[in-house]
Structures are given as structure tokens and as C-alpha cells.
Chains A and B, each alone.
Chain A
Amino acid sequence: MTYLAKPRLLAATAPRNALGYTRRDYEGAISTLCAGCGHDSISAAIVQACFDLDIEPHRVAKLSGIGCSSKTPDYFLGNSHGFNSVHGRMPSVLTGAALANRNLIYLGVSGDGDSASIGIGQFAHAMRRGVNMTYIVENNGVYGLTKGQFSATADKGSKSKRGVVNSDNPIDLAALALQLGASYVARSFSGDKEQLVPLIKGALRHNGPAFIDIISPCVTFNNHAGSTKSYDYVREHNEAVNRVEVILPRDRIETSYPPGSLRRIVQHDGSILHLRKLGEDYDPTDHIGAINHLQERHALGEIVTGLLYVDNSAEDMHRHLNTVEKPLNQLGDAYLCPGSKALDALNASLR
């Protein structure tokens, strides 16, 4: 938690992106979360990703539910509209917003309680519908604001701070998102900025529902021995399947990789995902293979991270609905109201 206000003056040397904005222009209010909270690292990663991608801040709409994670949209992208809605219902609010204006970038931020417990229904249906969004779950396996109860992603056998052992099976939101039709699915760790920032960038440039499950330890209630969502546990059991780099059409590709170690996936908007393979061969375009891999590794107690699945030809909700290109919230009266003549004809048919 930061108590000091950020200085208003900025060094003239602060780096600026193509739009002339500094990182500061993507920051938000001062965080009120606990010092060392994984969520603050995720906020910083979002700031970095938007800065790197030259996103105009007002083109982003950030939506959340209720909980520690859902508070964070106040702490990044202060020049973007935000909506801290009700518990577990961010997906529907985001869906409605996306229906109203197809041209904004929708960033949904939620937690494991918000998405896997109270909000699992809305989570599932937003994925099914193909809402064009980046949906981030800041997953710490615990209810922080109400002081340490297990959430639905807590692993069976993990121990709470008070020593209670969780007897319920965990919900793997990434596996669920895969099965339900998310077309970009990733998992990462708030403590691994190198991995996380590119995954967020890839998601923001993805057309369709992009889901990122980010393990984000709760330093106050779930960072002890016996927890499977602590910094130490995640570091020890993290099995990354790849490293991603997002290349925009404007970028010159400078890095070179040994042949066969790199995979290029061109997304709908022209951005390119460079996937550097790690360890064994993992194909993130193989839907069923991805589901199987998650199950197998979970059984071994490993936490699979990286870009798990991407479908670069996915269609989104607006395509399904065949809505006009111009955002619905910008259609004027003349486009919406059929007028009195049409009404007279209709009246005549009702006699």
C-alpha cells in the first residue's frame, strides 16, 4: 500500500509511446490493497501493456465485479471509464457495454470468488457468447475482504491461514474457459512480469473472448506454508509451456531464434504472437490437446502457465449478431426511428 501521493512532475526523459503518452498517463488512483499484493503487480502489468500497445486510454472500458481484484480498475488507466458493478456479474455488464459500442477495448477484471463462486454462471456464458474482451481473473484462492475464507479455486488439501484444510475440489477457470469457447486462454503468475505483460498484450489485441487466469498470491491471508497459491508454491510448481512476444504490424522484428523453436501466429488485427517454445512440444492451437495437457499436469500438482490456446480465426458476438459496423450507441434518431409514415401503414394493417 502506498501512502505517498505520486509526484505530479515528470522527468522530461520519461519514455513516451507513439501517442506521446508516458506510463503515468496509464496509471490510476493510489492502490488501497495490502503492501506486496499480487494484484498491484497485475495493475502495473496492465499499465505496461497498454503503454506498449499505444492504446488511447479512453478507448478502453474497464469493468469489474466485487472484491479486492475488482477494486483494482480504479488503480490503473485513470483516463478510462470504469465500472465496478455487482458481485459476480461483471460479465453481463461488460457484455451489455460491448453490445452498445463494438469499437472500444473491453477489459474485465475479476477474482476467483467473483468469477468461480458467485459469478461462475456469468463467466461461463460470456465465454460461450464470444464477447470480444480481455477477461482477467486475479486468482488467490481466498476471500481477502472478508478475512480468509476459501474460494472455489482453492486446491483440495490446501490449508487456510487458520489451519483449516480445504476438502472441496477446485475449479480450474482456464480449463473451463477453454471448454466453453474462449478463443485466447492463458495462465500466468503475478510474480512473473516478463511472462505476464506479453500475455496481456496478446489478449488485448485478440478478437474474441480472451481469458487470463493470473495466480496472484494474497500476502495477508494465503501466502503461508500449506497454501498452493503462495509465492513460494507457485514459483516451485510453475510449468511454463511457452514465452510470448507480441509484435505489432509497425514493429521491426529484431530478435532471431534458432529454427524450429519459434512459432508465429498472426491474429485477426494483424498483430503477431511470437511463441518461444519451452521444454517439450506444446501446440497452443490444438484445442483438445490443450485441455488434456492442463488435466494431466494438474494431476501432477503442476501449474501450467503461458499461452495455452489461441484461435486466430475466432468470430465475436457482433459477428454472430450481424450488427452494423457503426457502434449502436452512436446511431442517430434517423437510423433508429421508423417515423410516422411507417406507423400509419402499420396501423392500417391492424384494422
Chain B
Amino acid sequence: MSAQPTPIHRSNDFVIKFANVNGSGSASANELFARAIIRMGVPVTPRNIFPSNIQGLPTWYEVRVSGEGWLGCRGGCDMMVAMNPQTWDRDLAGLDAGGYLLYDSTKPMPRSKFRDDITVLGIPLTALCNREYSDARERQLFKNMMYVGALIALLDMDFAVAERLVADRYRGKDKLIQANINALRIGHDYATSHLDCPLGLRIEAADKVGNRIFIDGNSACGLGAVYGGATVAAWYPITPSTSVIEAFTAYCRKYRTDPDNGMARYAIMQAEDELASIGMVIGAGWNGARAFTATSGPGISLMQEFFGLAYFAEVPAVVFDVQRGSPSTGMPTRTQQSDLLACAYASHGDTRHVLLFPEDPYECFALGAQAFDLAERLQTPVFVLLDLDIGMNERLCAPFDWDDERRYDRGKLMSHEDLEAGKNFGRYLDVDGDGIPYRTIPGTHPTKGAYFTRGTTRNAYAKYSETGADYIYNMERLRRKFATAKDLVPGAVARPATRPTRIGAIHYGSTGPAMAEALAMLEREDIHIDSLRVRAFPFGDEVMQFIADHDFVFVVEQNESAQLRSLLINEGEIDPKRLVRVLHYDGSPITARFIATHIAEAVTDRKVSPIGQPVRKVAP
């Protein structure tokens, strides 16, 4: 037996994991715990790890506490709240040496079921609940609140903060407030009187949260759609995107109900499948309403034919794709960034689509709203590609903002007055040289401006044509339009290293926080890397310039086939050898440790000087 390690002593820097059974009501208690730490001014990032199931399977809630503000997944576990006997062995094994185990000690467990190198904390939660409550459901729900109460004592947290949170959550329901606080109190008092409080792990009040807000990306997308002016949402339920529509519905009820008559300034249609949902979006977009759908990988597969139609017939549409483990049904409740290529070149034939990559809920809102302007300006589908990690988990982010002077960009619309004034209308005519034609909305004018929309080839005046020259004109114009898009989409965000370097790293989306932390870790090892966070496809010139400015560039992403790298190579005609893959795709969120380890190894293997001028031109 190894020497007993000393228990971990750290304040505001640890990972605590809750092992629960899904459907047991643990989620809201766990979330309360996370929010209480935030209210104490300490950044936390929680992550739900849940199965594709309604009740009875294991689920975990992981809370990373980081006074330094690192929001990415860290890996490892310093404290385990083991509430699920099914996963006991595995949960115990996952605990770092010197860690802490909190468990329900109602039923005695053999010594062989524990480890010697951890601190074991038993609380007879079931017994306490059975004594306090007679209703079976209450016994279950309040057990969760009890362990949160115990944690407040064990981690030296402020009980009053938790009390205020409960009061906020159940405002107006005094009975519920009292019952929950009572449960917290029982757990807290038991820990105080029976256990050695506080532990080596502690929360110290700080001021590191600032004015940030705490919300999940899917809700932020739904809110972005409201602010972006969406009036039609058509969808089909699919994990992990369903809550985008749920949020849109809730925000619409709040903000888009006509105060005079209670009628809806929006229409939400649950379609029979993803084909119908994208069909409705395209029908509404063609008819001049801002419309969107939310889906995930399998939905993207089903929508392919319609994407081609919307691209070719030039109909605005917005698609929120909350990516999950793929291919096929894949890992429906795990995260990945594996739909890039399926979206970038969606549908048969020569198509190219605009993609946006939000990093966090703030950008889910901002880019989500912007997607509607882009879709109408460019008259094409725009994909907002987020993933389960930011979609379904709450994240600290900058508060949402909105400029009241901002007006929706409805794009190139020809009005009744324009037509009446005799303006030449060619639906697919490139009048301005930017590849974007003018369109009319059905019902604009009794005798002018009507045209026939079709997926077949046509001339610049929307007349059916199979003439090669007409086809080429159209395809070249679409290519020009895509080049125009390059200047309209959000630009990449650069984060230069503190010292000059010939190494770069490109990443996107939810990888952001882990990347930032990894770069700090690497810097401590004297590996300096300029990083660039790509926010959209088509890539702006700054992306290609970044690659040109570095000897080689790591492309960090969460899929198996290096999809962003493929896009960069294909669109930028980059020498593949200059783009080095760093790929994480087991379904869990990428961690800083993973990125730092892989990059450090690769840098060592390449024997390049990680700073300044290269020793030699890199032969990767």
C-alpha cells in the first residue's frame, strides 16, 4: 500500500463531481450549489454529463471552481459526491489521490469499497430524510438539498448566499422556500457537528465574477432569435437542440405577446420531421419572414436537399446546429464539433454555406441575432454551429448587449415603389457586382416583380434555362456572393503570444476556454503560441494571413477527421503539412491539459525552437 497522500488543500481551484441517477431531481440542487459559488464571486463552470434516457441511468454534474477564471473542462476530480450505487466503483476510481468522497452512509459499506488515499465523509442522508419526510418524492428531492447543505459547511461557504438563492428561485412560494432551506439546514448542521469542517478544499469569497451572467448557450440562441427578429420557427425535437426552441418559445411569450390582445407576434411549428421543418423555414424565408430551425447532426443529414434548394434559389434561412457525437445516432448526449463539413458543403452539387462558430452563450446570442441579418443580406442559409458543451451547460459570459439604434438589415428588397418607378428587376441579375441580386416578396405589386422560384437552372430573369452560359453566369455570381460574405461575417479573434513566435494555433467554438488555459500552461513551459479563434466560414483574409505568418499552425478541434483543417486546406489552398491536427473526440469536452500535452509533444517532436526565428524551415 502506498503512503497515504496528504488531503488536497486548495481554495477556489478544484473540481467537484456529483454522481446521480437521472430523473432523481438532482440537477436543480446541483445547479444551486454552482450558483451559490458564483454569488460568492468565484467563477465556476458546471457540466452535465447525462445519458440519452429519461429515468434511472447514471448522470454526473461536474463543477469546476476556478478563482483564476478558467472555464474549460479541467479533467480529474478532487471531490466526489457519490449518490449513485450503480457507478460507485468507477466514481471512486476517478477521484484524484488526496481527494474527498462524500457518500450516503445510511447503509454500512465494507471497507473494501473505499480507498485509503482519500478522505471519506459519510452522512446518513437517507436516514435523515426518512426521519424528516414521509412522502417518497420529498425524501428523494430533499436528499439532494441536504448534501448541498453539507457541502456549504464542508467547503466553508456562506449559508446566507444559498438561502437567498432559494428565496429567489421560489419567489412567491413561501412553503417551498422554507422546505428547501430546512433541508439545506439539516445537511449543514449534520456536517458541522459530525465532520471535520471545513475540508482542505474551500471557497473563499472573491470578486472574480464581475458583471458576467450565467446562462446556457441554447437559451442564448433562442434569445438571439427573438432579438434577431425571427418570427417563424419550425423544428423537430432532437437532443441537444430542443431547448433552443423551448427558450425561443418562452422568450416570445414574454417579449412578443401583443399587449393589447394577447396574440402572438411569432409562429412556432413543431414539424413532423426535419425535412418539413427546414421546408417551412425556407417557405417563410421566401415569403419575407425571418425564420429558423434548431437541430443536430441527424437533422442536418435529413435537410440536405433543402439546403441545396435554398442555396441555389437564394432563400434566406437560419439553422442552429447544436452538434453532438456523430456519425449516425452516435453519442446523442455527448459533445463534438463534427458537422462542419456536412454544413459547409451541404447538399449535392457545388454548394457553399455560411457558418458561424459562437464560443459561449454571449456569442450564441450575438451571432445568433446577426445570422438573421446575414441570411437576408446574402439570401442564403446561415448555420450557427454550436455544440452540446456550450448549448446545454450554463456558462459564465459577458452580459448580453443590444444597440437600440440598430435596424434589421433586410437585404436587397425591391419594393412596390421601386417596381412602380420602373426599376429593372431581374431576380438573379448581379446589379451591384457583389453577386447579390434583388428580390421581391410575394404580394408586392399586382403586375410587376413576380417571378418563379425554382431549384432548376434559370437565367438572370428567373426564366427556366438549361443554357450553359446562363448556368455559368449564375454559378460565377454565387461564387462572387460567397466572396462578399467573407467581408460580412464576424472576423477571427487573434490572441498573440507574449513573445514573438513562429507557431500558431487555430481553434473555434466551445474550444475557446480550454485553449486559453492551455496557452497559459504552455507559456509556463516556455512554449509561446499565437492563437486565432475562427468565428465564421467563409474565412476572412486575416485567417489566411495568420497561417502565412507562421511556420506551422496547430488546428485544435473536437472531431476525428480534422474538419476545420480540411476546410482551411481546401478553401485557402494551404499546404496540408503546415496544419497540424490536435483532435479530441471522445464525446467529452476538450480540456486544457489535453491541448497543452499534445502541443508540447508536437513541438518537441519537431525540434523547433518554440520562440523567435525558426532554427530551420520546419519539415513537419
Contact across chains for A61 and B442 when beta carbons are under 8 A apart: yes
Given A96-B232, A347-B400, A350-B213, verify A86-B309 contact (CB < 8 Å).
yes
Q: Check A328 against B443 for contact (C-beta < 8 Å).
A: no
Q: Is the CB of B214 within 8 A of A350?
A: yes
B289 engages A99 (CB within 8 Å): yes
Is B615 interfacial (CB 8 A cutoff)?
Answer: no
CB–CB A125/B447 < 8 A = no
* Residues of B270-299 whose CB lies within 8 A of A: 271-273, 275-289, 291
The reply to whether A93 and B283 contact each other, CB–CB distance below 8 Å, is yes
Contact B454 A84 (CB under 8 A): yes
| Residue B129 is within 8 A (CB to CB) of chain A in the complex | no
B471 CB–A CB distance under 8 Å: no
B443 with A96: CB separation less than 8 A: no
Question: Is the Cβ of B402 less than 8 Å from the Cβ of A339?
Answer: yes
Asked whether, in the complex, the Cβ of B283 is within 8 Å of the Cβ of A94, the reply is yes
Q: In the complex, A340→B305 CA distance in Å?
A: 38
B503 is an interface residue with CB less than 8 A from chain A: no
Residue of A63, A79, A97 contacting most chain B CB atoms (<10 Å): A97
- Do the beta carbons of B256 and A336 come within 8 Å of each other? yes
Q: Are B455 and A81 in contact (CB under 8 A)?
A: no
New A-B contacts (10) at CB < 8 Å, excluding given A101-B443, A337-B227: A63-B283, A78-B450, A322-B263, A323-B264, A323-B266, A331-B265, A336-B226, A343-B227, A347-B213, A351-B211
**Chain B: which residue is nearest A332 at the CB level?**
B408
Does A166 belong to the interface (CB within 8 Å)? Answer: no
Within 8 Å by CB of B400, from A57, A329, A346, lies: A346
Whose C-beta in chain A lies nearest to the C-beta of B403? Answer: A340
Give B298-328 as 1s and 0s: 1 = Cβ < 8 Å from A's Cβ atoms. 0000000110010001000000000000000
Interface presence of B453 (CB below 8 A): yes
Contact of B258 with A by CB under 8 A: yes
Within 8 Å of chain B (Cβ to Cβ): is A187?
Answer: no
B residues in contact with A56, CB < 8 Å: 446
Whether B265 lies near A79 (C-beta < 8 A) is no
B72-101 residues at the A interface, CB under 8 angstroms: none
Inter-subunit contact B452/A73 (CB<8 Å): yes
Whole-angstrom CA separation of A179 from B263 in the bound complex: 30
The 10 closest A-B pairs by CB, nearest first: A96-B283, A92-B279, A96-B280, A100-B289, A81-B442, A329-B288, A93-B283, A100-B287, A350-B213, A96-B284
A81: nearest chain-B partner, CB-CB: B442
Contact of B283 among A97, A124, A322, A342 (CB under 8 A): A97
Q: Does B432 contact A (CB under 8 A)?
A: no
Cβ of A33 < 8 Å from any Cβ of B?
A: no
B231 interfacial contact with A, CB 8 Å:
yes
The one of B265, B284, B306, B452 in contact with A324, judged by C-beta atoms closer than 8 angstroms, is B265
Number of interface residues of A (CB under 8 A): 62
**Chain B, Cβ-Cβ closest to A84:** B454
12 A-B pairs with C-beta separation under 8 A: A57-B450, A58-B447, A61-B287, A73-B452, A81-B442, A92-B271, A92-B275, A97-B442, A99-B269, A323-B264, A335-B265, A338-B227
Which of B264, B286, B464 is within 8 Å of A97, CB to CB?
B286
A 25-63 to B, binary, CB cutoff 8 A, 1 in contact else 0: 100010000000000000000000000000011110101
> For residues 185 through 228 of chain B, which have their beta carbon under 8 Å from a beta carbon of chain A?
209, 211-215, 223, 226-227
Q: Please name the residue on chain B nearest to A125 by beta carbon.
A: B272
Complex CA–CA separation, A94 to B331 (angstroms): 34
What CA separation (Å) do A184 and B528 show in the bound complex? 72
Partner of B280 from A25, A61, A74, A93 at Cβ < 8 Å:
A93
B458 to chain A, nearest CB (A): 10
Smallest beta-carbon distance A184→chain B, Å: 21
| Cα-based distance from A56 to B450 in the complex (angstroms) | 13
A96 close to B272 (CB less than 8 A): no
Indicate whether A100 sits within 8 Å of B291 (C-beta atoms), given known contacts A92-B279, A336-B256.
Answer: yes
Report if B440 contacts A (CB, 8 A): yes
Inside 8 A of B262's CB, which chain A residues have their CB?
Answer: 322
Q: What is the distance, in angstroms, from A341's C-beta to the closest C-beta of chain B?
A: 8
Whether a CB of chain B sits under 8 angstroms from the CB of A313 is no
Is the C-beta of B55 less than 8 angstroms from some C-beta in chain A? no
**Chain B neighbourhood of A229, CB < 8 A:** none
Q: Taking A93-B283, A329-B288, A336-B231 as contacts, is the C-beta distance between A103 and B267 under 8 angstroms?
A: no
Does A122 interact with chain B (Cβ within 8 Å)? Answer: yes
Query: Quick one: closest A residue to B308, CB to CB?
Result: A86
Whether the Cβ atoms of A95 and B263 lie closer than 8 Å is: no
Instruction: Provide the residues of chain B in CB contact with A74, threshold 8 Å.
Output: 452, 464
Which chain A residue has the least Cβ–Cβ distance from B399?
A347
Q: Does A157 have its Cβ within 8 Å of any Cβ on chain B?
A: no
| B255 contact from A59, A79, A81, A342, Cβ within 8 A | A342
- Report the separation of the CA atoms of residues A240 and B231 in the bound assembly, to the nearest whole angstrom: 44
A338 to B306, CA, bound (A): 31
Contact: A329 with B287, CB < 8 Å?
yes
Interface pair A57/B447, CB less than 8 Å apart:
yes
Among A74, A93, A330, max chain B CB count under 10 A is at A93
Residues of chain A touching chain B, judged by Cβ–Cβ distance below 8 Å, are: 25, 29, 56-59, 61, 63, 73-74, 78-86, 89, 91-101, 103-104, 121-122, 124-125, 129, 318, 321-325, 328-331, 333, 335-340, 342-344, 346-347, 350-351
Q: Which residue of A lies closest to B408 (CB)?
A: A333
Q: Which residues on the B side are within 8 Å of A78 (C-beta)?
A: 450
Q: Which residues of A contact B401 (CB under 8 A)?
A: 340, 343
Q: Which residue of A lies closest to B271 (CB)?
A: A92
Query: B129: shortest Cβ distance to chain A, in Å?
Result: 31
Query: Whole-angstrom distance from the CB of B425 to the nearest CB of chain A?
Result: 12
Our pick among A82, A100, A330, A342 for the contact of B232 (Cβ within 8 Å) is: A100
B266, B281, B283, B450 — which one has the most chain A CB atoms within 10 A of its CB? B283
B403 touches A80 (CB 8 A): no
Whole-angstrom distance between the Cβ of B293 and the nearest chain A Cβ:
10
A26 CA / B37 CA spacing, docked (Å)? 69
Q: Nearest CB to that of B214 among chain A residues? A: A350
Q: In the complex, A274→B226 CA distance in Å? A: 47
Knowing A58-B445, A58-B447, A347-B400 touch, does A328 contact B453 (C-beta < 8 A)? no
Query: What are the residues of chain B within 8 A of A125 when measuring CB–CB?
Result: 271-272, 276
The verdict on A80 contacting B450 (CB below 8 Å), with A93-B279, A100-B287, A340-B401 known, is: yes
B444 within 8 A of A: yes
Kindly list chain A residues whose C-beta atoms are within 8 Å of the C-beta of B443: 58-59, 61, 81, 101, 103-104
Question: B265: which A residues are within 8 A, CB to CB?
Answer: 323-324, 328, 331, 335-336
Please encode chain B, from 427 to 455, with 1 for each CB lying within 8 Å of some chain A CB and 0 for all others: 00000000000001111111100111111
Considering only residues 503-526 of chain B, those with a C-beta below 8 Å from chain A are none
Provide the residues of chain A in CB contact with B454, threshold 8 Å.
83-84
**C-alpha gap A335/B408 in the complex (Å):** 12
In the bound assembly, the distance between CA atoms of A57 and B289 in angstroms comes to 21
CB distance from A91 to the nearest CB of B (A): 8
Chain B residues closer than 8 Å to A329, beta-carbon distance: 231, 284, 287-289, 441
Docked-complex contact A96 and B273, CB < 8 angstroms: no
**B404 at the A interface (CB under 8 A):** yes
Q: What residues on A are CB-neighbors of B258 within 8 Å?
A: 324
Q: Measured between alpha carbons, how far is A329 from B267 in the docked complex, in Å?
A: 11
Residue contact B446 to A328, C-beta cutoff 8 Å: no
B407 CB contact (under 8 Å) in A331, A333, A335, A343: A333
Cα-based distance from A292 to B225 in the complex (angstroms): 47
A89 & B275 in contact (Cβ 8 Å cutoff): yes
Max chain A CB contacts within 10 Å: which of B263, B264, B267, B463?
B267
The answer to the question of B344 belonging to the interface, with a C-beta cut-off of 8 Å to chain A, is no
Q: Which of A96, A104, A129 has the most CB of B within 10 A?
A: A96
**For B285, what are the chain A residues with a Cβ–Cβ distance below 8 Å?**
96, 100
Most buried by A among B215, B226, B261, B402: B402
Alpha-carbon distance A92/B452, docked complex (angstroms): 18
Determine whether the beta carbon of A336 is less than 8 Å from that of B215. Answer: no
Which residues does chain A contribute within 8 Å of B211, judged by CB atoms?
A: 347, 351
A56 to chain B, nearest CB (A): 5
Compute how far the CA of A323 lies from the CA of B401 in the bound complex, rounded to whole angstroms: 28
**Chain A: minimal CB distance from B457 (Å):** 12
For B214, give its contact among A63, A321, A337, A351 (CB under 8 Å): A351
